[in-house]
Amino acid sequence: MFKKIYNRIKETFHTYPLFLFLLPAFFLYSGYNELFGFLSAQFILVNALWIFGSIAVVLGISLLLLRNKRKAAIFTFFVTLAFLTFGYLHDVLKQLSSNTILVRFGFLVPALLLLIILLFFTLKRQKSKFESVFNFLNLLFVVLLLSEIPNSIKRHQLDKSVHNLIDFRFSVFNEYKPQAELPDSSKPDIYFLLFDAMASSQSVQQTTGRNIHPLDSFLQQKGFYLASAAAANYNWTIHSVSTTLNMEYLPPWITPVKDDMKVYFWGSSSFKDNSLFRILNKEGYQIKSYQPISFNNPDWPGNSYFINLKKDHYYFKTLPGRIYRDIFWNYSRIDFDFVRKQQFRIMQKRNEEKKQLLDTTIALIKQSCSDSGAPKFIYGHFMIPHDPYVFDSAGNLKEVEKTIVRTSGDELQYYYQQLQYATVVIKDLVNYIQTHNRKNSIIIVAGDHGFKTEDARVKGYSFNNYSAYYFPDQEYGSMYKSASPVNTFRLVLNKYFNAKLPLLKDSSTLVVPEKKETIKKSEKIQPTHTPSTPNQ
C-alpha cells in the first residue's frame, strides 16, 4: 500500500507542474506568517487571484510560443520566480554588494530580461521531457511550503501570548491602586491633542531659524504649563505613542526598529489597548480614540493612515511593485510628462485624503464637547506638521508641485508652514474646548517626537517634542520642564487620582532603520501569564 502511494506521488511529481501552484502558495503563506494574525482571508484571496491570474496569462503566452506544455510550465515558473522574489533578492544584493551598479534597476532589469530571453531560447532548443526538473521543483516547494507550518505555530503562540500588542504587560494598570474612589463629578475630562512631529520651540528655532513664540504665548495666556525641555522617548510615532499610553518604556525584548512591519501592527494595536485606557475604563470614563493610526479603530470613520502597509505588503515584494516604489517616485530620474502627470494625480489624491483626515479629527474633537454624562478621555491624533507638507500656513492645500521636497531648504520651509497651520488648529481647538466643554477639563497639547531632519538628529533635536499641559486648577507644582511622554499620564493620574505612580527616568532611544526581528531571538520568552482580563 505504501509502495503504491509512493509510486503514485513519484509519478505525479514527474508528470505535473505542481510548482506553478506551490510557488505562489509559498509566497503567500510566508508573507502571511510575516504579519500573522493581521491579514484577512479575503485579503489573501484577492492577492492570490491576481498572482494566479498573471501566471495563467504568462502560461498561455508561453504555450503559444513554445508549443510544448512542459517547456511552457518551466518558462512560466522562472518568470514567476523572478517577479515574486525580486524584492527579496534586491534587498540581499544591497546588503552584500558595495558596488552600486549591481543594485541599480538600470542594470538589474535589463539583466533579468536578458536571462529570461536566454531561458526561452534554451528551452526552445531542448528535446528533454524535463522529468527530473519537474520532480526537483515539485519536491522543493512542497518542502518549503511545509517548512512554513512550524513558523505559523511559533507565530501563533507568540502573538497569542502578547495579544498582538507591542506591550502586553499592562504593568501600570496592574500597579494602579488609588487611595480613594472619586465621584464621577470630580473626575476631569481629559483631552489629549497629539500633533505628529510637533517640535519644541527651542528645536524649531535651532532647526529652522524661526520660532513659534505666538503659540507659546497663547497657551501661557490660557493657563498652560509648557514643558519646554521635554524630549520624546522614541523618535518614531508607533514607539512613542505606545510608550505614552502604556506609561512604560518598551519591553526589553522589543527592538526599536522603524522598518519592521510587525511593529506598526503591534504598536498601533497598543493605541487601542493600553494601561491608560484600562485604568480610565476602570474609573468609568468614556474613551474616544480619534486617531487614524490603528487598524480597525471603531472610533475612526475611515481607513488607517497606514492602510498601504497592508495593501502593498505583497506588491512591494514583486518586481512591478519595486519599480513603482523605487523608480516611479524618483523625481530626479523620471522626467517624462506623462509620468509626471500620473505622479501629480496620485499626489493630489493623497493630499486631499490628508486634508480629510485632519478635518475629520478636528470635527470629532469639537463634536465630543457636546457629550455629557460620564467623564471622558478624548485622544485626537493630527497628522501635521508631519510630512507630506500639503498645507500652507493658513491651512489651504498647496499645488502639488509646491509639496515636493527637493532640497533641505524646501523641507525646512514646508515644515514651518505646516507648523504655522498646526498653531492655528491648536488655538482653535483650545478655545473651543474651553468654551464648550465643562470647566473641569485637562488639555494636553503635545508632539509625539520632534522634527526629524538629518541635521536635527546629529544635533540631538529630533527628539525634542512640543509639550503643554492645562490643569483646571492651574496648579503645576508637580510638573517639571523636561517631563517626557512616558511620564505624561503618570503625572495626570498622580495629581487627579492620587495614584502615587513613581516617575520614570526621562530618556530617549533612537529608533534604528536597520531591519531586524522585532522580538530578539535571545529573548523570545513566554510571559508567566497572559493578562487578558483586569487584575491578572
**Torsion sign across C-alpha atoms 305, 308, 309, 311:** positive
Q: Is the per-residue pLDDT at 526 higher than 50?
A: no
Q: What is the pLDDT of residues 216-269, one digit of tens each?
A: 999 999 999 999 999 999 988 999 999 999 999 998 877 677 667 778 888 888
- Of 59-68, 87-96, 302-311, where does the model show the most confidence? 59-68
- State the average pLDDT over residues 285-306: 92
Q: What is the pLDDT of residues 379-404, one digit of tens each?
A: 999 999 999 999 999 999 999 988 88
* Secondary structure of residue 470 in the 3-state scheme: strand
- pLDDT over 70 percentage in the chain: 93
Q: What is the pLDDT of residue 165?
A: 87
Residue 260, number of CB atoms within 10 A of its CB: 23
- Of 44-58, 300-314, 398-412, where does the model show the most confidence? 44-58
* pTM for the full predicted model: 0.87
- State the average pLDDT over residues 426-446: 96
- pLDDT over 90 percentage in the chain: 62
| 536 pLDDT tier (thresholds 50, 70, 90) | very low
Q: What is the pLDDT of residue 520?
A: 46
* Secondary structure of residue 378 in the 3-state scheme: strand
Least confidently predicted of 155-159, 320-324, 466-470, 476-480: 155-159
Task: Write down the mean pLDDT value for the chain.
Answer: 88
**Which is more confident, 185 or 381?**
381
Helix residue spans in 209-336 (DSSP H) = 213-221, 237-246, 261-269, 275-282, 307-311, 319-323
Q: What is the pLDDT of residues 14-42, one digit of tens each?
A: 889 999 999 999 999 999 998 888 888 99
Q: Nearest Cα to 195, choosing from 477, 384, 362, 347? A: 384
Can you list the pairs that 430-433 forms with residues at least 24 positions away whose Cβ atoms lie under 8 Å?
430/218, 430/219, 430/222, 430/470, 432/365, 432/366, 432/369, 433/191, 433/365, 433/369
Q: What is the pLDDT of residue 529?
A: 34
Domain extent listing, the chain:
2-158, 190-288+333-523
Q: What is the pLDDT of residue 474?
A: 95
| 302 pLDDT tier (thresholds 50, 70, 90) | confident
Least confidently predicted of 247-251, 340-344, 409-413: 340-344
Least confidently predicted of 69-73, 177-181, 236-240, 287-291: 177-181
Q: What is the pLDDT of residue 465?
A: 95
Q: What is the pLDDT of residue 333?
A: 58
- Of 198-212, 322-336, 456-470, where does the model show the most confidence? 198-212
Q: Nearest Cα to 162, choosing from 24, 267, 5? A: 267
Q: Is the per-residue pLDDT at 523 higher than 50?
A: no
**Which is more confident, 276 or 7?**
276
The cell for 70 is 512542459
Asked: is 190-288+333-523 a CATH 3.40.140.10 domain? The reply is: no
Residue 21 β-bridge partners: none
The span from the CA of 272 to the CA of 294, in Å, is 7
Q: What is the pLDDT of residue 515?
A: 53
The cell for 171 is 504593568
| 514 pLDDT tier (thresholds 50, 70, 90) | low
| 452 pLDDT tier (thresholds 50, 70, 90) | confident
**Strand stretches in 130-220, DSSP E:** 189-195
Q: What is the pLDDT of residues 96-152, one digit of tens each?
A: 876 678 788 888 899 999 999 999 999 988 888 888 999 999 999 999 999 999 988
Q: Which residue has the cell 524630549?
A: 231
Angle at 352 between CA 351 and CA 357, to 5 degrees: 95
State the virtual CA torsion across 26, 31, 32, 33 in degrees, nearest 10.
90
Residues in the chain: 536
Q: What is the pLDDT of residue 408?
A: 83
